[in-house]
Amino acid sequence: MPLAFPITNGMVRILKAGGQLEEFKQEKLERSLLKAGAGRTIASEIIGHIERELKEGMSTSQIYKHAFFLLEKKDKPVATRYSLRRAILELGPSGFPFEDFVSEILREKGFTTEVDVTLKGECAKHEIDVVAYNENKLMMVEAKFHNELGIKTDLKTILYVKARFDDIKPLTFNYGGVRAFNENWIITNTKFTESTIGYGKCKNMIMIGWNYPGKGNLQDMIEDSGLHPLTCLSSLSQRQKGELLRKGIVLCRKLKDNYQELESLGIKKGGVDEVNKEIGLVCGL
């Protein structure tokens, strides 16, 4: 049942990350809050509060920050899950390669993986972000990271990925046995353009975006595997997150119960327990 908070002052347009204006729709905010785990009462309160503050031209980033601020007061672990998409963006400045993150997710799903592989096709050498395989599949995976939410993976990118696959597909390689690649994947932390989706479907490519497809998208894969980046934790400061990332500690689950690392950040026992509790609730550990 949709939440009952209609806007009373007519249509209000908000500014999307890509620079376009579109009508504010409470259903989108509702879906994101509920998907993060907020109860309907809390979601209703937040939506009502935001609608009272809503102004023409307000950015989606401002709306997110406002919603996060309110949600964090109500339920910290849910606020952490709500911030997941932007937490992935924060990996960019840290220098942690997105392909390593994708590799971790695929390993959690039962694949053996190799990162940054160079393979010779029929006509040229190609750099592959991730090679993933199990008994039945041998996949080449393009991990496309964008450092802004408004940037979409376009047709030019998927044409390149398809051309590379076509050059490699006729050959065989020794990954879990000598065989040819049989799946071509592209995974991005943002969205695909409509033309990219149309082409990928036509060519039987596996496309995983932040919210594409409806089920089995990148958000689902992260939450199902519990591989949340530590950048989503609200119990750590930006300075503390930066120090951990520089040490190569990126995933929440690798920080869980790591008292030595947490204490090295100057966090006292009570604070360490708070971090561990948040990790447990967010990652299901």
**Per-residue pLDDT tens over the stretch 146-194:** 988 888 999 999 999 999 999 999 999 999 999 999 999 999 999 999 9
Average pLDDT over residues 4-33: 76
Q: Is 156 exposed, middle or buried (0-12, 13-18, 19+ CB in 10 A)?
A: exposed
What pLDDT score does 128 carry? 96
Higher pLDDT, 275 or 199: 199
Lowest mean pLDDT among 12-26, 40-54, 163-177: 12-26
CA atoms in the 13 A half-sphere facing the CB of 69: 8
What's the confidence (pLDDT) of residue 8?
44
pLDDT of residue 72: 85
Q: How far is it between the farthest Cα atoms of the chain?
A: 65
Can you tell me which residue has the tokens 């949600």?
71
CB 38 within 8 A of CB 71: yes
Q: Examine the pLDDT at 247 and tell me if it is beyond 70.
A: yes
CATH number belonging to domain 94-225: 3.40.1350.10
Q: What would the CATH number be for the domain defined by 228-283?
A: 1.10.150
Q: What is the pTM of this model?
A: 0.80
The answer to whether the peptide bond before residue 213 is cis (omega within 30 degrees of 0) is yes
Mean pLDDT of 249-272: 85
Tokens of 182: 């049989």
Angle in degrees, CA 106, 141, 94, rounded to 5: 75
pLDDT at 10 exceeding the cut of 70: no
- Alpha helices (runs of H) in the chain, residue ranges in sequence order: 26-36, 40-53, 60-74, 76-82, 84-89, 91-94, 98-108, 155-168, 194-202, 218-225, 238-246, 252-255, 259-264, 269-283
What average pLDDT does this structure show over 259-282? 86
* Cα distance between residue 233 and residue 257, in whole Å: 15
